[in-house]
Amino acid sequence: MTGKPLVAVTGASSGIGAATARAFSAAGHPVLLMARRTDRMAALGLPDAHLAQVDVRDRAAIAQAVADAEAKFGPVDMMFANAGVAHLADISRQDPDEWDAMIDINCKGVMNTVHAVMGGMIARRRGTLVMMSSIAGRKVYPDHTVYCGTKFFVHAISESIRGYLAPHGVRVVVLSPGVIETEVLGGVTDPDTLAAYRANKAKMGGGIGADIVAALILNAYSLPQNALVQEIVITPTAQE
Ligand code: NDP
């Protein structure tokens, strides 16, 4: 134990969440890792880690994971509401079950996640919420319809929550990455959309590493509590 505060990450089993958990752990923080694939979180092999099998659609499961980790490591000082799915598709052909999944995980899951820690942060008058949006939460793409809707949702609630929490000394950072190399395309079931995405990605020379995003989050978090990076926008240089 290093004396550094506990940080929590949803979607910690792969991609940006796993990279962020690694970065904060390397900086000496105990970490609460939440996702459905516990084997993948265990494989990270992080010290002072509490692993919880959590589906972010389950508000009670998040609250329980936070309570269990806080009993070991003290209060959560940073929550990264990161878990999400990207069922990119032609809207006229898409199975509406994919809309439900994106709305439930990317929107309601983020609300469930911040709900579990907001009260404690207000009481302690400190804390940082990092909200996972996307470039697709700042501009729309024709084959990203509902995904863009969920990420615009994250932008909107984050700005509202930032205003609400500012007088309480709690920081809210919106994270808007462009193309990052992760497993996120595993959620794309429409072959035409997948092919178009891959072609566009190849044109820009590929995505950038999740470790770069993690370093930016750690950097924003590490600033004094009275300094807030309101939004992080990070893309491959060649992304339009
Ligand atoms: P990955 O697919 O590698 O990671 C997604 C993570 O979300 C996994 O750890 C997965 O864990 C978790 N997850 C998905 N559904 C649930 C659920 N119901 N409950 C709990 N955890 C869940 O992709 P990324 O790292 O890229 O994605 C992370 C976030 O980044 C997403 O919100 C995505 O929209 C966003 N993003 C990604 C970009 C990119 O180019 N990669 C660009 C912009 C934003 P498990 O399956 O084990 O539950």
> Is residue 90, in this structure, part of any structural domain at all?
no
Per the CB < 8 A criterion, the answer to whether 147 and 136 are in contact is yes
Q: How far apart are CA 207 and CA 201, in angstroms?
A: 7
> Is residue 1, in this structure, part of any structural domain at all?
no
> Is residue 40, in this structure, part of any structural domain at all?
yes
Q: Could you tell me the pTM of the whole model?
A: 0.98
Neighbours of 202 (CB within 10 A): 9
With a 6 Å cutoff on the Cβ, whether 14 touches ligand 1 is yes
Neighbours of 203 (CB within 10 A): 11
Mutate which of 9, 10, 14 for ligand 1 pocket (most atoms within 8 A of beta carbon)? 14
Q: How far apart are CA 17 and CA 23, in angstroms?
A: 10
- Which pLDDT score is estimated for 240? 87
- Which pLDDT score is estimated for 2? 67
Structure tokens at 232: 């992080």
With a 6 Å cutoff on the Cβ, whether 84 touches ligand 1 is yes
- Which pLDDT score is estimated for 1? 57
How many C-alpha atoms does 192 have within 13 Å on its Cβ side? 9
Neighbours of 154 (CB within 10 A): 23
The domain total for the chain is: 1
> Is residue 125, in this structure, part of any structural domain at all?
yes
The catalytic residues are: 147
Ligand 1 centre to CA of 211 (Å) is: 14
Neighbours of 84 (CB within 10 A): 26
- Burial of 177 from C-beta contacts in 10 A (0-12 / 13-18 / 19+): buried
> Is residue 28, in this structure, part of any structural domain at all?
yes
> Is residue 34, in this structure, part of any structural domain at all?
yes
Return the CATH number at 80.
3.40.50.720
pLDDT digits (tens, 9 = 90+) for 177-190: 999 999 999 999 99
Per the CB < 8 A criterion, the answer to whether 172 and 154 are in contact is no
CA-based diameter of the chain, in Å? 53
> Is residue 205, in this structure, part of any structural domain at all?
no
With a 6 Å cutoff on the Cβ, whether 13 touches ligand 1 is yes
Q: Give the pairing of strands 31-35 and 49-53.
A: parallel
With a 6 Å cutoff on the Cβ, whether 30 touches ligand 1 is no
Q: Domain limits at 20?
A: 6-85+96-179+210-234
Torsion sign over Cα 119, 121, 122, 124? positive
Residues of the chain with pLDDT under 70: 1-2
Ligand 1 centre to CA of 54 (Å) is: 13
